[in-house]
Structure 1
Amino acid sequence: MKMKDYIFYLNEKKETLVSPTRKVEVNIDEIMEFDNYYGIERKWITLDNHNSIEKIKRLVIPEKLIMLTTFKTAFNSPLKDYLIYIDFGKYSSKNNSIEFIDLELDIIIKRDLKFVIDDMDELILEYRRKNIQQSDFFNVLEYSTFLINHFEQLGVLNTLKQNLSDESIEWLLNI
């Protein structure tokens, strides 16, 4: 299994997703610049699942190991209780494009501000298969532990606002 790979072409306002099952390119409607990272807003495209999503916003943060996503969904969507989806991964940048390789670990923040750690088993499996370098594996574990500890001490939104900015989190949530 190959992990998901996102490439954000900022000048062309395009996002490309390469996964084990597909390659998809979609237009970006809006790009916001924050302190050394970007907000991306785009319409959802119909795939084989999650078709109750209308549009998404992402915070693409090359200095961190995370990408934050929020969704505008239909009322009866199975994802209607999701507030923020945090993907853990690895970034690289060149020629005004940003690549994010999803390293499988996710934290799902629900609308009630509780959170769920998801796909830890996939992170470990990909590490054992040698698809994730040891340094990346331990960096993801360390950063996810840092966030989880702060979520429990300060609350989810306060932690995100302290580690990013009030402005970017408010933008993300205003969907």
Structure 2
Amino acid sequence: MKQYKFDIKNKYEKIKTHINDAKFDFTEFREFNMHVFGYKRPWEKLFSHNSIKFVKRLLIPQTNLMLSYFHDEYGEKSNYLIYIDFGKYKQTKNYILFHDLELDILIKKDFSFEILDMDELFDSYENSKISNEEIKKILLTLEKTINNFSNKGVMETLYEIAGEEPIDWLTNNYL
């Protein structure tokens, strides 16, 4: 499982995984409101995805979602619009911690979407890395999000989750 630490005061992201332990400085930081934060940073090779130029993320601590946009003109992520990570947040005055709980939704540029890593979510649950309460919350959020995608549309749902200004900022290189 991945852990992200976002230092709001010093403007950096630290990612810790089973493969990486890396720190990246923000090139842009936005506080859209007291519940939605955005930042941009250059891409640096971690394990793969060498064609990505930069990543933008929306942190939404009152939810269990982190939204990312990867600017990739020709690589495997070039068809991605938004990548949604499910996890849990812990927030202090200067830091936002995000613990990725494996489940993801990939929204493509044609607004179709895929649910990813359901098997990893259940493996983590079976190995007691995710609690009963956490898996219930994740699955309820997944169900609500997918139902809203179907009933309201992908963009309207994203606007409801994070707000129109943050989503437009996140996707401004595409839309």
Distance in 2, Cα, partners of 1:23 & 1:93: 20
Deviation at 1:163, TM superposition (A): 2.3
Deviations 1:15-37 (A, max 9, x none): 00000111000101111112212
* Alignment-derived partner of residue 172 in structure 1: 170
Deviation at 1:97, TM superposition (A): 0.3
* Alignment-derived partner of residue 108 in structure 1: 106
TM-score by length of 1: 0.96
Where does structure 2 lack aligned partners over 5 or more consecutive residues?
Answer: none
Percent sequence identity over matched residues?
40
* Alignment-derived partner of residue 147 in structure 2: 149
Distance in 1, Cα, partners of 2:46 & 2:94: 27
Query: Equivalent residue of 1:34, what SS?
Result: strand
**Number of matched residues?**
172
Deviations 1:83-102 (A, max 9, x none): 00000000001241000000
* Alignment-derived partner of residue 13 in structure 1: 11
Q: Indicate if the aligned counterparts of 2:36 and 2:162 stay in contact, CA closer than 8 A.
A: no
TM-score by length of 2: 0.96
Deviations 1:52-104 (A, max 9, x none): 11001100010001000001113x21111000000000000124100000000
Where does structure 1 lack aligned partners over 5 or more consecutive residues?
Answer: none
Distance in 2, Cα, partners of 1:88 & 1:21: 20
- Match runs of 1:90-101 below 5 Å: 90-101=88-99
Distance in 1, Cα, partners of 2:19 & 2:161: 34
* Alignment-derived partner of residue 38 in structure 1: 37
* Alignment-derived partner of residue 72 in structure 1: 71
Distance in 2, Cα, partners of 1:30 & 1:133: 35
Query: Equivalent residue of 1:168, what SS?
Result: helix
Query: Equivalent residue of 2:135, what SS?
Result: helix
Distance in 1, Cα, partners of 2:92 & 2:160: 28
* Alignment-derived partner of residue 24 in structure 1: 22
Query: Equivalent residue of 1:42, what SS?
Result: strand
- Match runs of 1:102-141 below 5 Å: 102-141=100-139
Name the amino acid aligned to 2:77. Answer: L
* Alignment-derived partner of residue 63 in structure 1: 62
Distance in 1, Cα, partners of 2:65 & 2:46: 23
Matching of residue 86 in structure 1 with residue 60 in structure 2? no
Query: Equivalent residue of 1:142, what SS?
Result: helix
Once structures 1 and 2 are overlaid, which stretch shifts more, 98-107 or 156-165? 156-165
* Alignment-derived partner of residue 48 in structure 2: 49
RMSD: 0.9
